[in-house]
Amino acid sequence: MVTLSPRSSSLRKALLIEDAKEYQAIVRATLIDRFDVVFAETADQAMKALMNEKFDLLLIDVGLPGRDGLSLCQELRSDPRLQNTPILLVTGRNETADVVLGFEAGADDYIQKPFRPEELRARIEARLKRTSSIVAGAAQAAGTPDQFTKSGLRFSVGLQRVAHVEAGGERELDLTPNEFKILYFLARNDGRTLFSWRYAHRLVTLREDLVGSEAYIWILTLRQRA
């Protein structure tokens, strides 16, 4: 059942997709002064809530009953209306492969259970401050046009789209937001030797505690899609 907590129209709205009552209570108590929190306990309930309301933040538990949080995240991120809505995954998993799957599904960040309320608040505030788009901000600072072509790829920065320029037309690449940011980063640094993936990680996730193998997996995925 979808549970609403309407209090003030001046507050931002968050949708928490989580079936555990304990974490529903923790999240609500943590965000009560900054968000109206709506709860959904399944992916289907979340989809119904999103049809009726606009949210500033989505928090998704990976281990949902029925359809899991990763597939839900992937579907939501493919919705043009949610392209710039921060998505945080809440998970009890901490293996690198699981984290990479979350980012590939389109998540902006993840937080591991059990978590401290102050850590959750910090991660959320960090993401919200950057919803104006990391890529668009970097492009503006560098004076990069909204559209440019590099190595046979046409970038539409504002739309976060890339098309492969071919004889007789263009073929748009099906990229997640994180994959677009990685590809954009590489295009803007064409000709440079990158000794560390840290800069790519910061561009995509604004976190420095990730390992280089995750970026390597993204690069392999991009090569397969291109």
Q: Residue 96: its pLDDT value, please?
A: 75
Q: Residue 170: its pLDDT value, please?
A: 83
Q: Residue 209: its pLDDT value, please?
A: 43
Beta carbons of 122 and 220 less than 8 angstroms apart: no
Residue 197 to residue 185: CA distance in whole angstroms: 11
Given a cut of 60, whether residue 117 has pLDDT beyond it is yes
Phi/psi of residue 187, nearest 5 degrees: -65, -40
Q: What is the pLDDT of residues 184-193, one digit of tens each?
A: 877 877 666 5
Query: Rounded mean pLDDT of the chain?
Result: 77
Residue 12: both structure tokens together? 């931002």
| Contact partners, residue 81, CB within 8 Å, separation at least 6 | none
Given a cut of 60, whether residue 55 has pLDDT beyond it is yes
The residue among 55 and 217 whose pLDDT is bigger is: 55
Q: Which residue has the tokens 């899609």?
A: 225
- Tell me, what DSSP letter sits at residue 172? E
Q: Which of 215, 154, 226 is nearest to 187 (CA)?
A: 154
Residue 111: both structure tokens together? 């937080």
Given a cut of 60, whether residue 203 has pLDDT beyond it is no
Q: Which of 181, 190, 155, 191 is nearest to 170 (CA)?
A: 155
Q: Residue 206: its pLDDT value, please?
A: 41
Taking residues 172-176, report their average pLDDT: 77
Ordered structural domains, the chain, with CATH = 12-129 (3.40.50.2300), 134-225 (1.10.10.10)
Whether the bond into 177 is cis, omega within 30 of 0: no
Residue 121 to residue 132: CA distance in whole angstroms: 19
Q: Residue 94: its pLDDT value, please?
A: 72
With H, G, I as helix, E, B as strand and everything else as coil, classify residue 175: coil
Given a cut of 60, whether residue 62 has pLDDT beyond it is yes
Residue 89 to residue 51: CA distance in whole angstroms: 20
Amino acid code (one letter) for 221: T
Residue 96 to residue 211: CA distance in whole angstroms: 8
Residue 186: both structure tokens together? 């590489």
Q: Residue 102: its pLDDT value, please?
A: 87
pTM equals 0.59
The residue among 133 and 53 whose pLDDT is bigger is: 53
Say if residue 182 is exposed, middle or buried (CB neighbours under 10 Å; 0-12, 13-18, 19+): buried
The residue among 25 and 215 whose pLDDT is bigger is: 25
Q: Residue 210: its pLDDT value, please?
A: 44
Confidence of residue 157 (pLDDT cuts 50, 70, 90): confident
Q: Which residues pair with 14 in a beta bridge?
A: 37, 57
| Contact partners, residue 62, CB within 8 Å, separation at least 6 | 68, 69, 70, 89, 90, 91, 92, 93, 98, 102
Q: Which residues pair with 60 in a beta bridge?
A: 17, 89
